[in-house]
């Protein structure tokens, strides 16, 4: 296994000082640069940047003594030198990729640091899965910091996970070298009600001086004061200006996300651009990025461009994607800016608005140019246990997806999960549905089809059935996914129960992924053999398979933007209003199990 060590500042300081004083040549010198200084928020022309031992040694006017016979010299030719981009909150697993392949995908886009919360693998494999993600992150050529997942299950009593995370697990993880803090505290009702386990997990993090991630998904801000008092230091679940303002007023950082399906920057950045709030307390992040987004659209460069298009000053947007994030995690002296002593992560770009990523340097090495990765990334071996995580207990048939109606009635009024395009929350809808041969069925005229959660951790054979609206399917079809945040049972959505059974059984055969069936034929398959969540194939291959999946969903009538992301979140029982779990249908406004049928049909 290749390891990419970086000496600490203390180990490097004597040489950094010697270079800056002109007594020793640098390893690399960038000349003729327009230096974007995110501390002073200014662009300094005709600058020279010197790197030694993987860190910045000198930033200032030209100094000939920096260049020796072995110094690599890069003439920026007037281009901007900006800090490497930093993702303040994201989930590797949402890219369908391992840490290694995710890193390979984002390096050409200028991402040189990520703060990752692997709570998806934690729900499937527990602490052992987190350790694998942690160890794989350590050997990357860029900075991948890991937050210890806080909530598995995310809502105790409302779902059953493959493994649980305890306070003792958090205490242990805080001793690992690459754990930067606690992942998003999703059980916000537990925090608001001073649940002893949740407070113990937060205390275990704060006791070692690390950052507690937040996740307050309720639209009711009245309860936010109690949540803020519970210790979370940031929150990425805001969807409107009031959310962003509330977070920063309570001393937290507002994380504004642009993922594959979440478009929450535009609605919140007005807190800066119109209300004039201090931008230092705002951070840009992605949260969830599909592999296709990474390959075709970008990563943090996409988010920065979007923030600028939404009215942010380019230098402010860059601060929100660099120094603000580093400062939040206590790493301002280590990264996030082009200044002496920091890790030498820098991008050369010819324009601050369109932000073409032309040269990427990480830890003092050129790692990408013009969209092509130039550095090696390590091979990491995931154990066989990680590739054997789909345990349904039996092969399913069409009858496993039957929904029995109350006896003697010809129609039912059912609760229906309503998908909201480009947002994580759902709506709690109702629909009058027909009954055929004693079974309640969907109604495509109302855009209502079936959703099922198939238990896949303990081989119980359990199937929970309900209804969902918003996908637009108008043909006999089924889509199944073993990615189903956060407990990651299997979610199957369809208009044809025979196809639903075929799709679920197919994922059992390949040990995880996403597939689309129509009238007995497989239209698309994305294999995700590691935990049923990730592939160790290259991002371009996974993205191609994922595009086939998206095309197949569209062929079945789906009209949603990034419908797969919406599909995979329908089991997320901590975001309102209505979700499905192995316990049944969950009302996330009251955090209670609710009945599928609203009332006795007439």
The pLDDT tens digits of the residues spanning 566-595 come to: 999 999 999 899 999 999 999 999 999 999
549: helix, coil or strand? helix
pLDDT of residue 423: 82
296: helix, coil or strand? helix
pLDDT of residue 506: 98
Strand 28-37 relative to strand 72-75, pairing: parallel
More reliable by pLDDT, 122 or 261: 122
Residue 339: count other Cβ atoms within 10 Å of its Cβ: 18
Q: How would you class 370 by CB atoms within 10 Å of its CB: exposed for 0-12, middle for 13-18, buried for 19 or more?
A: exposed
- Round the average pLDDT of the chain to a whole number and report it: 96
Average pLDDT of span 101-118: 98
Residue 429: count other Cβ atoms within 10 Å of its Cβ: 19
Where does the pLDDT of residue 597 fall: very low under 50, low under 70, confident under 90, or very high at 90 and above? very high
- Domain 84-337 listed as CATH 2.40.420.20: no
Residue 601 pLDDT exceeds 90: no
pLDDT of residue 602: 45
Determine the Cα–Cα distance for residues 284 and 323; give it in Å rounded to an integer.
11
Determine the Cα–Cα distance for residues 26 and 23; give it in Å rounded to an integer.
10
Nearest to 364 by CA among 61, 50, 19, 93: 50
241: helix, coil or strand? helix
Q: Confirm if 180 and 117 have CB atoms less than 8 A apart.
A: no
pLDDT of residue 4: 57
pLDDT of residue 1: 34
Average pLDDT of span 222-241: 97
Where does the pLDDT of residue 69 fall: very low under 50, low under 70, confident under 90, or very high at 90 and above? very high
Percent of the chain with pLDDT over 90: 93
Determine the Cα–Cα distance for residues 419 and 472; give it in Å rounded to an integer.
11
The pLDDT tens digits of the residues spanning 308-359 come to: 999 999 999 999 999 999 999 999 999 999 999 999 999 999 999 999 999 9
Residue 138 pLDDT exceeds 90: yes
Average pLDDT of span 466-479: 98
The pTM of this model reads 0.93
Where does the pLDDT of residue 137 fall: very low under 50, low under 70, confident under 90, or very high at 90 and above? very high
Average pLDDT of span 172-184: 97
* Lowest-pLDDT choice from 421-435, 454-468, 521-535: 421-435
Percent of the chain with pLDDT over 70: 99
Tokens 């679940």 found at:
237
pLDDT of residue 408: 82
Where does the pLDDT of residue 58 fall: very low under 50, low under 70, confident under 90, or very high at 90 and above? very high
Residue 400 pLDDT exceeds 60: yes
Average pLDDT of span 515-542: 97
Average pLDDT of span 136-151: 96
Tokens 């602490």 found at:
127
Residue 2 pLDDT exceeds 50: no
Category of 555 on φ-ψ map: left (φ > 0), alpha (ψ -120 to 50) or beta: alpha
Determine the Cα–Cα distance for residues 199 and 179; give it in Å rounded to an integer.
19
CB within 8 Å of 5: residues ≥ 6 apart: none
Average pLDDT of span 99-121: 97
Q: Confirm if 491 and 568 have CB atoms less than 8 A apart.
A: yes
pLDDT of residue 600: 58
pLDDT of residue 136: 97
Burial track 119-137 (b if 16+ CB lie within 10 A, e otherwise)? bbbbbbbbbebbbbbbbbb
Determine the Cα–Cα distance for residues 259 and 256; give it in Å rounded to an integer.
10
CA-to-CA separations, 338 to 10, 40, 57, 123, 319, in angstroms, rounded: 18, 11, 10, 38, 12
Give the domain ranges of the chain: 84-337, 385-599
């Amino acid at each position: 296994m290749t390891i990419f060590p970086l000496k600490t500042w203390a180990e490097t300081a004597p040489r950094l000082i010697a270079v800056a004083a002109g007594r020793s040549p640098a390893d690399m010198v960038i000349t003729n640069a327009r230096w974007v200084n995110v501390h002073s928020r200014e662009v300094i022309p005709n600058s020279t940047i010197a790197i030694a031992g993987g860190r910045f040694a000198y930033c200032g006017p030209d100094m000939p003594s920096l260049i020796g016979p072995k110094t690599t010299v890069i003439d920026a030719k007037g281009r901007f030198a900006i800090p490497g981009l930093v993702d303040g909150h994201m989930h590797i697993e949402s890219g369908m990729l391992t840490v290694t392949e995710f890193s390979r995908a984002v390096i050409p886009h200028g991402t040189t640091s990520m703060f990752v919360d692997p709570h998806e693998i934690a729900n499937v494999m527990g602490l052992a899965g987190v350790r694998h993600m942690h160890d794989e992150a350590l050997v990357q050529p860029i900075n991948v910091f890991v937050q210890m997942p806080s909530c598995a299950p995310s809502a105790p009593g409302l779902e059953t996970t493959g493994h649980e995370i305890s306070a003792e697990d958090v205490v242990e993880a805080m001793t690992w070298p690459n754990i930067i803090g606690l992942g998003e505290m999703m059980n916000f009702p537990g925090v608001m009600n001073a649940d002893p386990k949740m407070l113990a997990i937060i205390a275990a993090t704060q006791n070692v001086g690390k950052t507690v991630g937040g996740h307050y998904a309720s639209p009711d801000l009245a309860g936010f004061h109690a949540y803020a008092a519970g210790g979370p230091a940031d929150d990425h679940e805001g969807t409107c200006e009031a959310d962003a303002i509330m977070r920063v007023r309570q001393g937290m950082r507002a994380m504004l996300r642009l993922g594959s399906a979440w478009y929450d920057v535009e609605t919140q950045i007005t807190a800066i651009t119109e209300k004039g709030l201090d931008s230092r307390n705002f951070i840009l992040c992605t949260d969830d990025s599909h592999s296709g987004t990474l390959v075709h659209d970008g990563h943090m460069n996409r988010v920065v461009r979007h923030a600028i298009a939404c009215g942010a000053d380019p230098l402010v947007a860059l601060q929100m994607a660099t120094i603000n994030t580093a400062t939040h995690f206590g790493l301002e002296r280590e990264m996030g800016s082009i200044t002496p002593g920091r890790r030498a992560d820098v991008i050369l770009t010819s324009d601050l608005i369109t932000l073409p990523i032309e040269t990427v340097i990480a830890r003092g090495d050129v790692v990408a140019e013009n969209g092509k990765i130039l550095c090696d990334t390590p091979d990491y071996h995931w154990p066989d246990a990680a590739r054997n995580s789909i345990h349904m207990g039996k092969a399913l048939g069409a009858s496993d997806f039957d929904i029995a109606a109350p006896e003697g009635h010809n129609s039912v009024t059912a609760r229906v999960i309503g998908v909201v395009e480009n947002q994580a929350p759902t709506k709690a809808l109702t629909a009058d549905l027909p009954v055929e041969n004693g079974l309640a069925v969907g109604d495509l005229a109302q855009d209502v089809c079936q959703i099922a959660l198939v238990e896949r951790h303990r081989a119980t054979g359990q199937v929970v059935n309900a209804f969902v609206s918003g996908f637009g399917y108008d043909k006999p079809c089924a889509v199944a996914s073993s990615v189903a945040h956060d407990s990651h049972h299997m979610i199957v959505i369809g208009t044809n129960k025979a196809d639903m059974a075929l799709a679920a059984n197919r994922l059992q055969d390949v040990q995880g992924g996403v597939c689309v069936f129509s009238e007995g034929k497989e239209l698309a398959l994305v294999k995700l053999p590691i935990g049923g969540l990730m592939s160790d194939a290259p991002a371009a291959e996974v993205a191609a398979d994922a595009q086939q999946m998206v095309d197949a969903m569209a062929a079945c009538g789906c009209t949603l933007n990034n419908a797969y992301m919406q599909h995979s979140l329908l089991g997320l029982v901590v975001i309102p209003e209505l979700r499905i779990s192995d316990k049944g249908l969950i009302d996330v406004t009251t955090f209670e199990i609710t009945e599928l049928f609203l009332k006795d049909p007439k």
